[in-house]
Structure 1
Amino acid sequence: MSMRRIAADLECDPMAIYRHFPNREALLDAVADLALAGVVDPGPETPWDQRLSGILAAARSAALQHPGIAAHIAARPPLGVHGLRLAAGITASLTEAGLSPTAVVQTLQTLIAYVTAALAMAVNAGVRDERWHRVSQAMSGLPGETLPIVGSSEQFTYGLRLLLHGIRAEAAAGGSR
């Protein structure tokens, strides 16, 4: 279905959108996929780890630019043309990393779980409020100077870096071959 056709129908009747989708979930799935339309896959000429982190960080950023649909993206990763395009880029990156086909699928699932959980936390992220100060104080005996805000870009980047190190180690160990 063409977005132009949908837009034309909406000009005449705002409820016309429901003629193009079988149910509310299908409509939200389409909107979620459209939110990822601008996410660029750096392509196979980019080293696998940079390509992978670029896709995942850009997908998170794109989802957060649309707060009304971000929670839906976190709950139901898009399977439309844009979601599948990004999944293909992620899969190609993991293959280039040296993982076996089985490990590629398992790692893809793990990365999707990480990104969707991080996205859900970002949607619900707060500020350094009273609760944050209480948690920070409770953790004051642990190493480190500050406690990042749950769902922050800083926390996401750190977790992604850990996952990339794990992928390298898995590939070096034979990648579940």
Structure 2
Amino acid sequence: MKTFQAGTRAFALAALALGGGAWLAASGSRAQESANVFAQSVGEQRYSISLADLMGFIQQRHMRLSLAADAKNWPLVAFEAHLLNQTLASAAVYYSNIPIDYVVAAATPIGKIEAEALAGEGAKVQDLLDQATAACNACHTAAEIAFVKIVRPASSPFANQDFSPAGK
């Protein structure tokens, strides 16, 4: 497994992990300080989780985000979007062969989804989720695994969770 290394990629990914798609707007010493804190927390530890396992977590979070968005459960949408971006950042940190441009292409609309949901707005969420899904599939195509095609779920595999907003 690879260890975390400082540099441009580490800086970008640390900012991504800390701020979702909004990392593009991060600048100056605050962002660099965040990257340094993140690098110190990762240190020289080695991680044994496989890329396939991380992608499985990402797929599950994508499903939950989609179902929460369909139910217009904005607190759950914000929660799942945040977790999804954290997991995307983890995959990119642990596996340097994942092109950062594809991570950013997926994380940016997911960060916007989180912001929309936190504001109690949902008008753009479905389109943003479609953009993120398309970015995932573009990455799979670039990695020559286009046979792994992500789609929005048609039904919930989570029989033990109600995705409707609280109190409904």
TM-score by length of 1: 0.33
TM-score by length of 2: 0.34
For CA contacts below 8 A with separation 6 or more, give which structure has more relative contact order. 2
